[in-house]
Amino acid sequence: MLATLSNFINQKSQKISSAALMVAFFGLISRLLGLWRDRLLAGQFGASRTLDIYYAAFKIPDLIYSLLIAGAISSAFLPVFYEYLTKDKEEAWRFTANIFNVLIFILIGCSLVLILFAPQLVYLVAPGFDDASKELTVNISRLLFLSPLLLGISALASTLLQAFSRFLISSLAPVFYNLGIIFGIVYLAPRYGIWGLAFGVVLGALLHFLIQVPSLFNIGFRFRRLFNFKEPGLIKVAKLWLPRTLGLFAFQINSIVSTAIASALAVGSVSIFNFADNLRWVPIGIVGVAFSTAAFPAMSLAHAEGKKELFLQQFSLAVKQVLLIVIPLSVFILVFRAQIVKIILGIGNFNLQNVQLTAAALGLFSFGIFAAALLPLFTRAFFALHNTKTPVLINVFSMILNIILSFGLVWYFAGYTNIAPILGLPLAITIASIVNLLWQWVALKKIIGN
């Protein structure tokens, strides 16, 4: 029975469509758990300063994870790993072990430095908080620095499993991450308050990694005593990683600016913005991220083997499938935004005004969901081609546009008594996302053709 279970967990996905379906299915499970998590948070805390502190404290550790790991390390690691694997399998494993060790060292170093400077960083993230709220945000963020360390190692494990088409177990990891957070909300928060939420996040990050360990060893990975900063493969990964990190930094700046602006508005604005943003990410995560995750290894391998037509075929099919699913979902969210928010969040301390504001923000977000869903696929297409500069430049421009629009629209809406200023933030993100996608579309067409 154990052998049968092992075979099921470690099965290979033979096609992009089947891999995307698997990733999307478990992405749906993870997102549903995420919605349940938000429902529990809304019911227990409402749009309160406590929840504002929780979301603000998340921003700094999330910055580390997003810059060093999310998308960046996977996008940079996979193309180089395939180059090693097509030449010498043993060297590929040595290269991977070295990457793991160096990554752990960097994550620990960055976490220690940022723990030291957490007060200054919190001031940038939440300048509108009072002194007591800022102090609590600092302390919570320091505990949460354990999360990017665990998630960083786990994200590289997920990328390695995806390189061998083991999408099932890597797709299960986010499910366990959300289960850990929900455990913190249900069982720890009633006793320890906001600290219980933070402990739940750390527990979820630990489960995210542990669930993948058996499959990681199943494909042949072994930890080794290797620590070489001068390894050619590591240097090449760093060259691919740096531009991608700069691009992700642009997105993180947008998130930090949005949180900083919201912290200076009415109490609960940070929570309302994050709740609407989380709802927006449900179709993006289920569809956009699923197809980009499934297509990236195949596109990278096609480019490594010099099969341009196969690359174009895989990319084009993924784009069409994403649009086919996301556009109807966006229309559904726009039409039923109030009902969606009320059903998911409208309980306990989350009052009618909170529901209405969150629904209005979600409605504005819905116009840009198609763009946000396609952006991971376009960016990974550039990375599969080893082109890192183009998407970075476009992302930086979009970041600047978003920041200008955020300040401008919030200020503009503040002049109307019947429009909440917080609605300027989702509108700014929507416009910037659409501009970003159109620009990437034109740039990619110049490189690979129609």
Indicate whether 209 belongs to any domain: yes
Output the six-digit token pair for 156: 């590289």
**Tens digits of residue pLDDT in 197-230:** 999 999 999 999 999 888 888 887 778 887 888 8
pLDDT at 216: 85
- For range 111-116, the mean pLDDT: 86
Burial bucket for residue 68 (CB in 10 Å: 0-12, 13-18, 19+): buried
Is a pLDDT exceeding 90 seen at residue 88? no
pLDDT at 8: 45
Indicate whether 8 belongs to any domain: no
Distant-in-sequence, close-in-space partners of 414: CB < 8 Å, separation ≥ 6: 421
pLDDT at 441: 92
The more confident residue out of 293 and 71 is 293
Indicate whether 11 belongs to any domain: no
pLDDT at 109: 87
21-25, 74-78, 211-215, 368-372: which has the highest mean pLDDT? 368-372
Lowest model confidence (mean pLDDT) among 198-202, 245-249, 336-340, 405-409: 245-249
Helix (H) or strand (E) holding 348, with range, is none
Confidence at 180, pLDDT banded by 50, 70, 90? very high
| Mean pLDDT for all residues in the chain | 84
Long-range contacts of 128-134 (CB under 8 A, 24+ apart): 128/260, 128/262, 128/263, 128/264, 128/265, 129/49, 129/52, 129/53, 129/56, 129/263, 133/49, 133/52, 133/53
| Three-state DSSP state, 231 | coil
Q: What is the gyration radius of the CA atoms in the chain, in angstroms?
A: 21
Among candidate residues 174, 151, 20, 146, the one with its CA nearest the CA of residue 73: 151
pLDDT at 379: 85
Long-range contacts of 110-117 (CB under 8 A, 24+ apart): 110/64, 110/68, 111/64, 111/145, 111/146, 111/148, 111/149, 114/60, 114/64, 114/145, 115/142, 115/145
Lowest model confidence (mean pLDDT) among 116-120, 170-174, 326-330, 406-410: 170-174
Instruction: Residue 113: count other Cβ atoms within 10 Å of its Cβ.
Output: 11
Instruction: Residue 7: count other Cβ atoms within 10 Å of its Cβ.
Output: 10
Is a pLDDT exceeding 80 seen at residue 449? no
Q: Which residues of 148-182 are buried (b: 16+ CB within 10 A; e: fewer)?
A: bbbbbbbbbbbbbbbbbbbbbbbbbbbbbbbbbbb
Is a pLDDT exceeding 60 seen at residue 310? yes
**Tens digits of residue pLDDT in 392-448:** 889 889 989 999 999 999 999 988 877 789 999 999 999 999 999 999 999 988 887
Residue 350's domain spans which residues? Answer: 16-448
Phi/psi region, residue 416 (left: phi>0; alpha: psi -120 to 50; beta: rest), is beta
pLDDT at 357: 92
Q: How far is CA 34 from the centre of its chain?
A: 13
Residue 111: C-alpha distances to residues 62, 65, 182, 248 (Å): 11, 10, 25, 18
pLDDT at 289: 77
Indicate whether 437 belongs to any domain: yes
**Tens digits of residue pLDDT in 17-51:** 566 677 677 777 887 888 888 888 888 888 788 88
pLDDT at 432: 94
Q: Write down the pTM of the prediction.
A: 0.73
Count of structural domains, the chain: 1
Indicate whether 3 belongs to any domain: no
Instruction: State how far the Cα of 33 lies from the Cα of 281, in Å rounded to an integer.
Output: 13
Confidence at 86, pLDDT banded by 50, 70, 90? confident
DSSP code for 47? S
Is a pLDDT exceeding 70 seen at residue 73? no
Instruction: Residue 324: count other Cβ atoms within 10 Å of its Cβ.
Output: 10
Instruction: State how far the Cα of 393 lies from the Cα of 345, in Å rounded to an integer.
Output: 37
DSSP code for 15? S
pLDDT at 71: 53
**Tens digits of residue pLDDT in 317-332:** 888 989 999 999 999 9
Output the six-digit token pair for 248: 């992700």
Lowest model confidence (mean pLDDT) among 172-181, 220-229, 263-272, 427-436: 220-229
| Three-state DSSP state, 75 | helix
Indicate whether 6 belongs to any domain: no
Contact in structure between 368 and 378 (CB atoms under 8 Å): no
Indicate whether 22 belongs to any domain: yes
Burial bucket for residue 399 (CB in 10 Å: 0-12, 13-18, 19+): buried
- For range 78-84, the mean pLDDT: 80
Instruction: State how far the Cα of 274 lies from the Cα of 446, in Å rounded to an integer.
Output: 36
Confidence at 69, pLDDT banded by 50, 70, 90? low
Indicate whether 5 belongs to any domain: no
pLDDT at 5: 46
Q: What type of residue sits at position 117? A: F
Lowest model confidence (mean pLDDT) among 10-19, 81-90, 319-328: 10-19
- For range 78-85, the mean pLDDT: 80
pLDDT at 358: 93
pLDDT at 2: 42
Is a pLDDT exceeding 90 seen at residue 249? no
pLDDT at 332: 95
